[in-house]
Every structure is written in structure tokens, then in C-alpha cells.
Chain A
Amino acid sequence: MEAMESMERRDAIDCVPGYGEKRRDGGDGGDGGRRLKLAVDWKSPAVDRRVKEFSAMGYDSMTNVSIPTAASKAKEIGKKKRVNRTAKLKQSKLDVRREQWLSQVKNKGCKEEINGANGVKMHSPDVHERNDDRPLMKLEINPVGEETEGITNHYSDSDSPSNSPISHTSSVFGSNRSRSPFTSSSSSSSGGCCSGSMAEEDDGDNGCLDDWEAIADALAADDLKNDNHESPEPPQLNSLPPPEPEPVNVTMVGQDGCCARAWRPDDIFRPQSLPNLLKQNSFPMNSNQLYGFGAIEFGFKKVTSPPSTCPICCEDLDLTDTSFLPCPCGYRLCLFCHKRILEDDGRCPGCRKEYDHHGQGNASLKLGRSCSMIPRH
């Protein structure tokens, strides 16, 4: 079992970088340089810092464990991103999205310890950014990622029983690659907000941890895609916070589960331009399921709304007619019928009282009195 897995890994190590090289050399040369630069960028001083932190967290002895952690994290994050994405697609606001990404990163930075997930979060927008050459991007990430696995294997895992997670990762990876056509169509709407952070990471030779993040990125992206294709139901419906009952608010929960925070209305890091979800989702809630407030509101509206046609002549009421309230009894009719009635007996059809005794007549009467009062005082 172990032997097979290690063989699998060796295969991956042997063949994948070569594949990546071939891709780098051939193909469209214009993008090739860029991609090469990106591959170098993964190895950054920031990674060193992260490695140190990882060792501080006790990961140094079992470095590979962080791979499945990162992978599962990535999956989790991928789901969250997907849930996030569905809501975002509804909103259809690029700017808002970009801002949210940024503030997410910021939020995490100040709220949480830096761990693998942080890196994933940091880099995922970048992955989304290149939606055009996305498969190429993946191809480039893949070799580096598997190289990482190979390295970890050689270092610590050749004799340890805990390498099965890695093989799991690699198999997931393989399936990812096989599903890569999905990714080509993904996330055309993400803004490139983190490209700057990529440029900052100039050089460095220790890219392992960052490569995990790359893997996690790819996984997240793929999970995002595949989940979108497979299961339309958000998986975290149960963890809804009590004050937000709409299912659409799962988006908030998705972020909540990741960094224990959600975009609450009073959130400091909540982008100002984010629309009020409660307000905005009131429409789909009403259209999908009528319960609670929605039903009451809906019914109430239905009851109190003015008639759409004039009850006298059965013609449609226009905007002027619907705002025309000639009698305090509330009986509405079109202006034509009202005029016709005024020419005739001048009584409200609803209450049979004469229009002149209230409404406009009353107002003019009051006006007349007050005018006549002025000279006396």
C-alpha cells in the first residue's frame, strides 16, 4: 500500500515537472514568460516567514500533515467561496466583490493567526484573476505542487505511516486535472486585487509552503467549480445565525465558518459599498417562499393596494387615478367618472355623501374661512 502510494508520488514527481517544462517552453510564448515569473513568485520571503510560523505552531516534525490540512481547508474554503459566489452572482457587482476580497484578507490579517488558510485566501483572487489562461495556470501550479509533495515525502514521510493523506491529495489532484475543463469557464467576474502582493514576492528558493497554498488554491478553485456543477444546495444551512433567517445569508455564514466573522451590518471591515443583504434579498425571498413577514407584508399589500381598474367604468386606473382619493371614505374611481358624477348629483358612489361636503370642497371652505378671519385679528 505504502509502496504503491510512494510510487504514485514518484511518478508524479517524475512526469509532472517535465510536463510543466514542456508547457513552459512551447505554446504561446507571450504568456510563457509571465507564467515563468509567476512560478518563481511563489517562492517568496513571505514563505520563509510562514515556515517559521509553521514550525512555531509545531508543524515542523510532520510537515506533510499540513498538506491535507491545507487541502481540507481549501475544500472548506472552496465551498465557502462557492456559496459566496452564488450570492455575488446575484449581486452582479464587480467592485463590491473586489472590495470584499480585499477586506476579507484584511479581516483575516488582523483577526487570525497567519496559517495556511491565510495564504490560500491571499492568493485565491490571483488564481481567479487569470480566468483566460486558467488551465495553463493550473498546469503550472500542478508541477510545483506535486514537487512539494515529493519533497515532503523524501524528507519525512518515506518511513512514516502518515503518508496516506498525501496520496489522497495527489489523487484529488489528479482528478482535479481531469476536471480541469471546468475551470476554464470559471469566475470571469473576479477582480485582480492581489496581483500587487504577487509582485512583491520577488525571489526565494523555499517555496514549499507557498506551493501548498497553490495546491489549495487550485483545489479551492476546482471545488468551487465542481460544486457549482454538482450540488446547488448550500451545505451549511444548519449553521445559520438566528437573526438572519434567509437562506441567502449562508454567504455570510460561509465566511463566518472560516474566520469566525461575517459581514454584519456593524462590521468594521464590512465594505461600505456592500449592499444590505437583508434588504436586497427581500425580493427573492418573497418570490420563492412566502412565510413570516414576507407573507404578511405581501397579503397586507394585496389588501390595501388600490384597485387596478375603476369600479365604475372598468377602465384601468393610471398613476394619477390611483393617487386620486376624492372622498374620505376611501372609495377610489377614475377622474373621468368623478367628473361625470360631479356634473350629475355629486355624491360619492361608495358612501353616497356629496363630494362637496368634504375633500376639495372642505379644503376650499376652510381656506375661505381662514382668509376671512385674517382681517378681524
Chain B
Amino acid sequence: MSAPIRLADVTVAYRRHPAVHHVTGEFAPGSMTAIVGPNGAGKTTLLRALMGEVPTDQGRIDRGGIDPRAIAYLPQQAALDRGFPLACAEVVAMGHWGRVGPFRRMTPEASGRTAEALAAVGLDGFARRPIATLSAGQFQRVLFARMLLQDAPVVLLDEPFTAIDARTTADLMRVVARWHGEGRTVIAVLHDLEMVRAHFPDALLLAREAIAWGPTPTALSSANLFRARMMAEAWDETAEVCAHDETRRAA
């Protein structure tokens, strides 16, 4: 089993204002963690930092030897053109990219795996359906099928169940649980605390700083949730340079 993903004093700032502020901790290999927090708490930023899409201003992220390319990432409400002239199977087959790259042949075996992935998310027989004809929930199933094919050791999900009905959520949650059962590391940004408590063994309560990080029942205690809610969403325009940084520089 690979090493954990370690965050050591990670700060990510936009225009010098921190979105993620001095976060330290680790995601154990094979763990399943929900990232919870108010809007503007830096949840998406943290995922993007884990992907290596935004640089850290301070601290470091040690991915435990995992290539960022091997991380599967589902962005929040992916801003995709749903009218794009592609069929479901064509979108799902993009999940083979890590193995076939831009030029290698799509083997019959790979095409078979595409069909299996569609079936696994409950879209049997949808292979040739244009994505323009799908509902939001069906489209999210397609994106999950694509992630199935990526066969990634680490899976990052950013609010995967927003605007998705209960039945689709339950089906897709089974897919997430299956990833966890297969020993993959799952990190998901979620707002539904009931769902987090029911399915996610670990939770990170984020309000720019990590308010709590550990087993879900203790991390999401009412005292911790209250502290997270108190976090101001707006930047402090007149903020001083972070004193935490000053002490570090002095040290």
C-alpha cells in the first residue's frame, strides 16, 4: 500500500488573501474523507491544490509518490457543454486516456470495459445516446462511469451530488463505496451532513483553516460546526501580513 497524502502547513492564496490557511494533516491510503465547510471555506481550492492545479503559497503537499496524473478529479458542476455532439460511450471512453493517450488504439477489450462502466452506473443501453438528451442526473452518471475507467488510486469529488435526485445519489454513492472497498483513497467535498455521517468514516471540517480533521463523529461535533459557521466569508481588505508567517520566518 502506498504512502499517505500529507499536507504540511499548506496555504493557498488568491491575490495574497488565503483561501486555504496553514492546513496540516494527512489522508491515509484507502481512507474515505468528506471535506465539509461553509461556502468560501477553501474546499475546492484544497482539491485543486491536491491536483497540482494551483500552486501552494506556503507549505507542501506530499502525494506519497502518486503521480498527479493518476488522480481522478470530478470538478463541481462541471461547466461542460451538454449540447456537444458526442454519445455517452464516447464521453465515458475518455477515461481510457491514461492508458491509450492521444494516439494508441482503442482495443475491443477497452470498448468492452466502456460498456461495463456504463452498466455499472445504471446506464445499460445508453452507449449510443447523444449526451444532449440526458438529464442532469444521467449526465453525472456518465461522468462517474468515465471515472470508473480511470481506475485511479485517488478519487477527488467536488460536490458530486449537488442538484442530483435521491435515487441517482444513492446509486452513485454505491459506486463511491465500491471505490473505498477496493482500497482507493476517496476525498469528497459534500454539504449533506447526514450523508457524510452515514457513509464517510473521516471528515475534514474546513473554514480556510482546518477546524477539525479526523473520525467523522468527533470532527463534526456541534461545537466544531459552530466554529466553522462563524468564519467570515469576505476577505479582510485591511488584513496585515499573516503573523504565523512572521514567526516562521523568524524561526
Same assembly = no
Chain B residues packing against A (C-beta within 8 Å): none
Residue numbers of A with Cβ under 8 A of B are none
